[in-house]
């Protein structure tokens, strides 16, 4: 059983998605060991409501002890770094190969920004395609080896909120696909005709009812 820890600062959309996938058997062989947040936030509220272990800590790059103590205690297989801070060098090296991040761009484009800022920058640059990247966390920000990417066409006249709804859903599926690739349950073939990931077959299995449930979770 592979254990996951989520580092969080925000509302927890990706956390909710992965947790609900686990509860519905969409991600076998995994468990959520803990949610660690650097502030009271939606991620912690959700974790408490559904009975997941949750810890709120003070984290500073100069003083990472509270974070590393919990991570050493849980000893997770993977750590999803949805925290709104750049991790310190010692922590990154300590858990090298276990830290992964979901970024809202097709890296290396628009690296170094968090949240929806990369999408704003992409639109300002006139990009016709935006996307998400799941990658390993390394010392250089947003420069670790890429695990999976997903891409979306920008529609003329589309409201930003609608585009972000599609980016969020694409990112969730991209993170799910990464976890499946990393545990060996999903093969990533070099000759796959699907140039963009996740594949259309995979995203279609997550229906609108699931997304609507997630919005109220």
Give the residue numbers marked as catalytic. 142
Helices 13-23 and 42-50 pack at an angle, to 10 degrees, of 20
What tokens were used for 164? Answer: 């972000």
Cα 171 to the center of its chain, rounded Å: 7
In angstroms, the CA 80 to CA 103 distance is 11
Closest CA to 9 of 76, 108, 80: 80
The structure tokens listed for 14 are 């990706």
Of 130, 34, 47, give the one whose Cα is nearest residue 80. Answer: 34
Cα 159 from chain centroid (whole Å): 24
Tell me whether strands 99-103 and 78-82 are parallel, antiparallel or unpaired: parallel
């Amino acid at each position: 059983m592979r254990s996951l820890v989520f580092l969080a600062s925000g509302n927890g959309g990706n956390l909710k998605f992965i947790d609900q996938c686990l509860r519905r058997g969409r991600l076998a062989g995994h468990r959520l060991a803990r949610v660690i947040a650097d502030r009271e936030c939606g991620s912690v509220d959700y974790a408490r409501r559904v009975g997941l272990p949750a810890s709120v800590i003070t984290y500073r790059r100069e003083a990472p002890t509270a974070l590393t103590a919990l991570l050493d205690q849980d000893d997770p297989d993977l750590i999803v770094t949805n925290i709104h801070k750049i991790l310190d060098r010692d922590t990154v090296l300590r858990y090298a190969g276990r830290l992964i991040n979901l970024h809202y761009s097709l890296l290396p484009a628009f690296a170094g920004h968090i949240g929806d800022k990369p999408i704003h920058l992409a639109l300002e640059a006139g990009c016709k395609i935006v996307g998400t990247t799941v990658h390993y966390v390394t010392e250089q920000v947003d420069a670790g080896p890429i695990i999976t990417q997903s891409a979306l066409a920008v529609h003329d006249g589309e409201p930003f909120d609608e585009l972000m709804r599609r980016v969020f859903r694409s990112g969730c599926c991209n993170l799910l696909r990464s976890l499946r690739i990393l545990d060996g349950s999903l093969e990533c073939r070099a000759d796959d005709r699907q140039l963009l990931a996740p594949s259309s077959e995979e995203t279609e299995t997550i229906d609108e009812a699931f997304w609507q449930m997630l919005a109220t979770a």
